[in-house]
Each structure stands twice: as C-alpha cells, then as structure tokens.
Amino acid sequence: MGGAVAIVMLTTISTQSPLYADSIAHPSASPTPETFKGTIEQFKAARDIYMEELRIRSQQIKMINIAFRNAIEKTSMDYRNAMALAKNLDQRTLVASQRKAAVAAAIVARDSAIAALGAEPTPPPEPQKMKKAPGKSKNR
C-alpha cells in the first residue's frame, strides 16, 4: 500500500512540474514598440496598395459605364432613325424589338465586363494596438 501512495505522489509531481516550468519559461510575449512600429509600416504599405487597387478598379468601372452609355445612346439614335423610316405597324414592332435586344445585349456586356474584373479588393487588417504596461494606480 505504501508503494501505491508513492507511485501516485510521483505521478502527481511529475505531471505538474513540466506544466509549471513551461509557464515560467515562456512568459506571454507582448509586442515591443519596434515590432509594433514595423507592423504599422507594413499596414500603411498594404493600405496604399489597397487604395491604388480601388482607384484602378474605379477607373475600369467608369470606362465600362462610359462604353455602356455610348452603346445605349447609339441604340436610341438608331431607334429614332428607324422609327422615322418605318411605314407600317410590323416595321415599328420590328424596330422596337431590335431596340430591346440591343439594350439587353449592352446590359449583358456591361455586367460581364464588371464580373471579369473579379472581386473587389479587400482592405488589409488593422494592427492590434499595443497594450500599455500596468503602471502604478492612482488611488487618492
């Protein structure tokens, strides 16, 4: 019976000491001001790249929308000219359906061009603020 108590005591001591030693050997690492400053610089560089990507994407979408607007204006002008020349109801119906088809094609072209740009860029994550070291409390 004494041997069983000794084994239990030995097991308890051996399982606690590595855990205790690990907590002392590896204190929680807090970011130093130098590493935090480096993280801020990396964030600023990533933010600049993100803003440039947004600017380029915005310009591309603007050009796509200009091309769309031009296509719609051309379709409207062609429609007006064709309606002026249409003599009967069948011709007018044909011209109207051609206009609808041209507008639908312009919409599909615009939507597919925007989809071809890919997903919108994602902003970089902001770095976590440094925690202040605990100081003396001011109890008055």
DSSP letter for each residue of 54-75: HHHHHHHHHHHHHHHHHHHHHH
Query: Counting Cβ atoms within 10 Å, is residue 61 exposed (0-12), middle (13-18) or buried (19+)?
Result: middle
Domain total of the chain: 1
- Does the residue 35 lie in any domain? no
pTM: 0.63
The answer to the question of residue 46 being in a domain is yes
Does any domain span residue 89?
yes
Is residue 121 a contact partner of residue 53, using CB atoms and an 8 Å limit?
Answer: yes
Which residue range(s) make up the domain with 71? 42-117
- pLDDT one-digit tens code per residue, 60-89: 999 999 999 999 999 999 999 999 999 999
Distance of CA 87 to the CA centre of its chain: 55
pLDDT per position as a tens digit, 22-59 = 444 444 455 566 666 778 889 999 999 999 999 999 99
Has residue 22 been placed in a domain? no
Over residues 119-137, the pLDDT tens digits come to: 999 999 988 776 666 666 6
Identify whether the C-beta of residue 59 lies closer than 8 Å to the C-beta of residue 140. Answer: no
64 domain residue, yes or no: yes
Query: Is 139 within a domain?
Result: no
